[in-house]
Structure formats: C-alpha cells, structure tokens
Structure 1
Amino acid sequence: MPPGILKLLSLLDLPAFVEGRYLDVLAANPLATALSPRLVAGGNRLRDVFLDPAEQAMFPQQERAAAALVAGFRESVGTDVDDPRFIELVGELSLASPLFRELWARHDVGVLSGSVSVQIDHPQVGQLVLNREKLLLSGSDRVMLVIYHPDAGSDAAEKLRMLASLASRATLDR
C-alpha cells in the first residue's frame, strides 16, 4: 500500500477504503469501518455481501448490489481465470451462496470504476443514499480507491456527520 494513499485515507472526512482486484479490502479509514464493520483490512467484499447476513441486511436492494459486485469482479479479474486466488474465491462462494452461483452463471461483466448511487440501511443512522466512486490507482494492478459521499445538503450528509461523530466517540471511549 503506497504511504501516500494511507495518508489520504486518514485525511478524508468521508468513508473510504482501498480494494484489490479480488475485492479484498487493503486499507480503510475509520468512517468506512463505521459505515460497515466489515470494511477493514483483510476483509473481502464478495465474502461479506454473499456470506454475511449483517452485511446483506444493510443493502435493501441486495440482489442488485450483489449483481453489480459480481459483474465488477469479473471485469477486474479479466482473463486471468487460472489464478489460484480467483479459483479459490469463486469455488468458495459457488458452494456457499446460491445467489452467487446464479449471478456468476450469467457471465455479466461490468465496469468496476466510476460513480453509482448506493442505498444503505445502517443500523445506527438509518437509510443513507450515497454516491460511490471507484478510482483506479495509477501504477497498480487494478487497485481502487473507493469513496462514499452524500449529495450536499442531503439527509444522508447529516446522517454521515452523525455516524462520524458516533465513530469518533467510540474511538475516544476505548
């Protein structure tokens, strides 16, 4: 992980994390972890979305979110389908998740970078509609900086400030 990216993550007042080509979380800032406790280094977005009921509950449009994630994963891996990490991850998810099997069989390929609107039902602050940006880090093997941000003046902006405050208090209480 480039030190400059770690510095940037720590300075952002928005939920942000870095993910690798297999959708592994490589680094995350505290507000990203407050948004989802599974957004921590060492986590994997595919495993979280398909195997973790708490993560699934956060996405009211879970099948749509899962389909986009699988299509982006397929694009990220490209033709490198003989890679042992890829084989292990697809095999594990295919055995454990009927939804993953169904979506994987569709062979959809999606764009991994860019902006999309994401609806999240957060257990502490309620429904958030956030924009998710995925920015390809130059000089990397499909490593992305992922940032969630609300529209200015929106209800989600206020709820995100509340979540940041809650996360800050929790850190101070430790």
Structure 2
Amino acid sequence: MEHGDNALGEFLRARRSLLDPADFAVLDHGQRRVEGLRREELAFLAGVSTHYYARLEQGRARHPSRAVLDSLARALELGDEAKKHLHALAEDLPLVKVAARRNERVSPELLRLLDRWSDQPVAVIGRYRDVLTSTPLAQALNPGFAPGHNLLYEAFLSPAGEGFYVDWEIVAAGAVAGLRSSAGSDLADPQLKELVDELSRRSPEFRRIWARHDVQERTSGTKRYLNPLVGPLTLEYQTFRVNEAPDQTLFVFFAETGSVSEQALVLLASCAELSDANRG
C-alpha cells in the first residue's frame, strides 16, 4: 500500500514510469537509470519547471492549480477517469462519500429483483470487490461469484484463478484499476488498506499491477471463461451503479444472440436449476 501522506506524488511517479521515451520528442542523454520519462522530461512536456514538478512528486508541493493538473494529465496521457482521479488526489477529495459506504447490505427490493432474474448471470459487488449477492446462474458460471467471496482474492489468490479466466491478465488488471477507481483519493481507508496490504504480501502479481496506479471504472466489456461444466464461454457484461448504495455495482452478463456461448449459457442455467432442486 502506498504512503497515504503523498498519494499525489506516488501517482505522478508511477504514471511517469509507464511512458515510453521513444514515443516523445525528447533528447536522449545517455543510459537511463529510471523506467519511463525522467522528471525533467515530463516537466518540459507539461510546461512546468523541473524544480516545481520534483516538489510535487516529493510531496513538498501538494495543491497545484487546476491548469497545472490539466497540463500534467495531458503530458501523462491520462484518460478522463484517471484525470479525474489526479484532481481528486490533489484536492484531497474522496470520490465516494464516506456515509455512502457504511452499509454493504443489499436492499430487500434488489434482492427480490434478483430472485426473478434467472436467465442471466447477475451479481452485486461491493466497494472492496466483495460479492454481496448473486443469481444461481452467476455462481454456476463463476464459483467466485458466491456471496461472501472477494473477486480480488479469487483472481490473485485462488489456485484456479488463472486457469478459469482465459484472459487472466486483462481481468486482473481491470479488477485492480476498478478498485482504485472506487477508492478515489481515500487511500487511508482502513478496510482498503488491509485488503491491499494482504494482497500485496501474498501476490507478487497484484503488487506489480497495483504499483501501476491504473484507474478505470468497469462499465462494460467482454470476458472469456473456461467453465468446468460447459467449457469456454465468451460473455459481454454491463455494470450499473445502485442508486441507493453508490458503492455497490450490479454486473449483468449476457451472450451474443445465436452464439455457441448463448447455447452454453442455456445449458449452464439448466445445470444451475438442477443443482438448486437437488439442494431443496
């Protein structure tokens, strides 16, 4: 876990290290001792003095103007969400209100809706990537969607994680970037710190990806699974913020109409229904 007293500096340093000097018109001054651009090169691209930029990274200057932040975002080639994150770090403004995350329970109304949602894998995920509830089909698709599981633990610490996700690296990077997005600038949150510290200690891959400081809220995409019951599936997903609990995200998975994956999903739904009947 990064030091909470210099989150802005650590973000700038991490993103600077990811830039390839070959992509920029900078003079090569011999062998490089650091990854990515040097401080003076990034400062030049952003139109600020090297001395001032160094102070930002070192935490000795903490509140640059919005104009400077916008210039740094352009130089670092940040997307809209990462740019918003940069501003939040500089302004010490959590992106999620503290009051909104006191309750990680799913509302009775949403639970009743999921009870009627039998033909698609659906799950409600909390702020820290805990599975709060899910449909039987979601659990048949991915055992990690069982309530009480944590998707980051499943991806990085479960022995079956890498074999289950066909594009494991993409899934893992997206999960970490999503965690940073929901955390915002509130990196001192004790529960977040405990989660990140444990994953960092137990998983070198998590530690490597977390150090990149990627920030991205997952709103849609494609995931490829190797399901033990029906084999490979390629599913699209959409996410929806739960209005009454903004820290909670509703994930809905679906297959392309007429595809082999749609047929496999129908078969998987039958398996899930049969499993439920046997338990009953």
- Fold-level match, TM-score > 0.5? yes
Could you tell me how far 1:55 is from its partner in structure 2?
2.8
Q: Which is further off, 30-39 or 101-110?
A: 30-39
| Partner in structure 1 of residue 220 of structure 2 | 115
Q: CA RMSD in A?
A: 1.0
Name the CA distance, whole Å, in 2 between partners of 1:99 and 1:60: 17
Judge conservation of contact 1:15–1:149 (CA < 8 Å) in 2. Answer: yes
| Partner in structure 2 of residue 7 of structure 1 | 112
Name the CA distance, whole Å, in 1 between partners of 2:256 and 2:166: 20
Higher relative contact order (CA 8 A, sep 6+): 1
Name the CA distance, whole Å, in 2 between partners of 1:41 and 1:173: 20
Name the CA distance, whole Å, in 1 between partners of 2:210 and 2:161: 20
| Partner in structure 2 of residue 92 of structure 1 | 198
1:37 to 137, 140, 143: 143
Deviations 1:93-142 (A, max 9, x none): 00111110010010000123x21011111111111000111110112132
Name the CA distance, whole Å, in 1 between partners of 2:266 and 2:224: 17
Could you tell me how far 1:79 is from its partner in structure 2?
1.1
| Partner in structure 2 of residue 145 of structure 1 | 250
What is the TM-score normalised by the length of structure 1?
0.96
1:105 to 203, 211, 222: 211
| Partner in structure 1 of residue 178 of structure 2 | 72
**Alignment partner of 1:26 is 2:132:** yes
Structure showing the higher strand proportion among its residues: 1
Could you tell me how far 1:52 is from its partner in structure 2?
0.4
1:165 to 263, 270, 275: 270
Structure with larger Rg: 2
Q: Which runs of 4+ in 1 moved over 4 A?
A: none
Could you tell me how far 1:83 is from its partner in structure 2?
0.9
Name the CA distance, whole Å, in 2 between partners of 1:4 and 1:131: 25
Structure 2: give runs of 5+ residues left out of the alignment: 1-105
Could you tell me how far 1:163 is from its partner in structure 2?
0.4
| Partner in structure 2 of residue 135 of structure 1 | 240
Secondary structure at the counterpart of residue 121 of structure 1: strand
Secondary structure at the counterpart of residue 65 of structure 1: helix
Could you tell me how far 1:11 is from its partner in structure 2?
1.3
Could you tell me how far 1:2 is from its partner in structure 2?
1.1
**Matched residue pairs, number?**
173
Structure 1: give runs of 5+ residues left out of the alignment: none
Name the CA distance, whole Å, in 2 between partners of 1:169 and 1:35: 14
